[in-house]
Chain A
Amino acid sequence: EAGVTQSPTHLIKTRGQQATLRCSPISGHTSVYWYQQALGLGLQFLLWYDEGEERNRGNFPPRFSGRQFPNYSSELNVNALELEDSALYLCASGHNTDTQYFGPGTRLTVL
């Protein structure tokens, strides 16, 4: 069974640009979670989508947004990129449980 996949693996942008990150959950999972992990720091919860709806949001500005598609894949959009947005962005999926399984992550670098 395929795990959570994320694309791209690496993304380099400049300040002010927009970044789009994508995630495909494990087959059968309806929930997708997004986290930010800045270098040397812990995981910070960004967004939770389930059945196409945003269920919860972490303490991030509105320029962090996303959506979940009918096939349960998801994308995270970050507008007006700032230098401090440079981080590893992790997607996790789950279904009817609290357990979350992580994808390999997208490393975003903002120059």
Chain B
Amino acid sequence: QKEVEQNSGPLSVPEGAIASLNCTYSDRGSQSFFWYRQYSGKSPELIMSIYSNGDKEDGRFTAQLNKASQYVSLLIRDSQPSDSATYLCAAHNNDMRFGAGTRLTVKP
């Protein structure tokens, strides 16, 4: 069983729609969670971090954490073609474990 699991996609949404990205993790000791965006051929770029149950909003991005369900999600509102990338979910407990990523395509 992978420690951090994501749907590999591709997830395709029309421009202006809400994109919903999901992630589950197996290590209950994980205390902090991150979403990174990675454009093809580039390095991951930090979008959001979340540490407590509930929602955390930053601009068009909302991260949601449910530790009881071991579930993390990222919502992207008003999706833009420039949001097209692979989104990596990560969980930290002594070291960072990354999911394989979900590829998002936003169609104009």
User: What residues of chain A have their CB less than 8 Å away from a CB belonging to chain B?
Assistant: 33, 35, 41-43, 45, 48, 56, 58, 88, 90, 98-105
Check if A99 sits within 8 Å of B49, measured CB to CB: yes
Task: Quote the shortest CB–CB distance from A24 to chain B (angstroms).
Answer: 14
User: What residues of chain B have their CB less than 8 Å away from a CB belonging to chain A?
Assistant: 31-32, 34, 36, 42-46, 49, 88, 92, 94-101
A105: chain B residues at CB < 8 Å are: 42-43
Docked Cα-Cα span, A99 to B101, in Å, equals 18
A100: chain B residues at CB < 8 Å are: 34, 46, 96
Partner of A102, one of B43, B100, B101: B43
Check if B96 sits within 8 Å of A45, measured CB to CB: yes
Smallest Cβ-Cβ distance to A33: which chain B residue: B96
Task: Quote the shortest CB–CB distance from A59 to chain B (angstroms).
Answer: 11
B98: chain A residues at CB < 8 Å are: 35, 42-43, 45
Task: Quote the shortest CB–CB distance from A45 to chain B (angstroms).
Answer: 5
Task: Quote the shortest CB–CB distance from A51 to chain B (angstroms).
Answer: 16
